[in-house]
A and B are shown apart, each in its own frame.
Chain A
Amino acid sequence: MTERTVDPPPRPARGPLLGPADPAASPIRYPLGPLEPPVGPPRTPLHRAERCEGTGACARACPTDAISVDRSLGPTVVELDYGKCLFCGLCIDACPSGAMASVRFEEMAVRDRADLRLRHGPPPPPLAGSRLADEVRERVRRLYGDSLAIRAVDAGSCNGCEVEVAALLWPRYDLERLGIQLVASPRHADALIVTGPVTRNMRLALEKTYRAVPGPSFVVAVGACGISGGPFRDSPEVEGGVDRVLPVEVYVPGCPPSPVSLLYGLWLALGKVDQRLARGEIPADALRGPPR
């Protein structure tokens, strides 16, 4: 290598390197401690059946068909699928009666795909899901409860989910404080977290990666794409969701899910916390302040 001059830097200013601590960047306790008060306008859509006039404007506005309005049964049935939702808010803008509102809610991950579907109307049909049996879940908790190695696989995502998965390693979220590591090889992994709609071109690589993970193992599907194909679900170039290819243990909705949503999803997968979303209903205690 050639000799080069290194410009002598000025001495760093005295005091902490980053100046006054930025509260936004300081470490959080969650999920070991309480959830921090969320910032910013709410983005999680909420359907309030008592205000719904059944216009269907929300369903027409939705770019991913996450909302359907069915009048064939007589009373209007509104179905909202958080597994397809991009949290774009177009349904809220479109709703003339204020039935669609938004709340701040990040603990959205579920074990059963059907629990992401909110259905307001007559009783829902029986659920069919890909649940692991309870004893297997107990085994996962026993095996991995204090030490989990995860391999992240991008199965064709836009790189949005990768930003948030990578953020788990930043000082604020510091995944490793929970005994969870992201590892380089599937051979070292206990679980896969998979993002993206599973493109045709990534399907084989995803299957091979899954087979390379020693069992027992489980899969977490991340983001609208990983759950349902998201905005790409109509493309012939994608499979339309991780569970079309692999058995999925936990679904983490979002576009992309925030790091807190991901932490909750991993905690749920480890059996450390109860699922909060049941058949798409956001628990009342999670609604901080009135929906708007």
Chain B
Amino acid sequence: MILRVAAMVAGMLAGLGAACAADIRAAVLRVDYPALAPISRFERVPDDLGFAGAALATEDNMTTGSFLGHSYVTETVAVSPEDAAGAVDALLADGVDLFVLLARDDDFLTLADRIGAAGLVFNAGARQTRLRDAECRANTIHVTPSHAMLADAVAQFTIWKKWPRWLLVQGSNPGDRALGAAYQNAAAKFGAKIAETREFEDTGGSRRTDTGHVLVQKQLPVFMQGAPRHDVVIAADASDVFAPYLPYHLWDPRPVMGAAGLRPVSFHAAHEAWGATQFQRRFEALTGRYLMEPDYDTWLALRVLGEAVTRTNGADIAALRSYILSDDFELAAFKGVPVTVRPWNGQLRAPVLLFDGRITVSVSPQDGFLHQVSPLDTLGLDRPESRCTAFE
């Protein structure tokens, strides 16, 4: 492998006469939080979560860079929440100014501010809409979709299905409520009606479901009974506390969407359309496991960076940022249409896959939802409603 890469660099640089050398050093910083194990073993968190996507993206960028004289080095750092700021300081002191962050929303903001205007930050994990709204940051490109984009993707599908009456069930943690608010906005935006909002209380370690399926089967239907007429149950469970138990344990037989049943995702390991099969195979050959959303979001963040380096033929932060935010920027991301970036808040425009756990059931934006700029702008916060001013 090393021999091959070396040969490529030597043999192929001649191709593009104007090639200028550039060394791109980026860091992927992942903040690991103390958390319960996921409800399903299938969602067990691997040690290389996100980093595996970074490894593939770096290989991809290196291959392309070998024709242009660009080389890429990606450092991956996993830290506790307490050590995150120190880790950023150390990387900055070491000369790194390109960051991919996998952190929760409040920590994301703290770290992005610490990196400051001299750096460029890619958000691959924080999904709350406020980071793209009043709390946006000029140094940040949000590669991962916002809660608003994900909720809008589900809302469009329910409207396309003519299932407009929702029973919204949200968790009791702040993140769950923020997600619930995104679904309420989505309902208002696309004309769905929320028949009732119910809150499922997170009682901490003693999950209602710890006792196994026998009690879940008895207790969850009781929690769900007595709801007004509805077509679909929407689950807003950002904390992974209850949603996976909802399908088959409702009172009224209805489809579940959101955090269980039909889930809006940036990507999933079964997706095959638009050339995704070859991407999945490359990922699996490199890492020995299936791809997860943070892997895709991290891969995409580094590919956005790599594409900007390729097209601007350099590593100047200001030039990279302005190219990524320009109309010229577009990137193929195995979603059938080019992904681009909203220049007014730094959010990547991308389709959202609707995944049932085995296959891609549908992809939003749905047919018929139009927008004067791009159909992709029917998903998430739109320019007229945004309070983001950092990009002006």
Is chain B a partner of chain A in the same complex? Answer: no
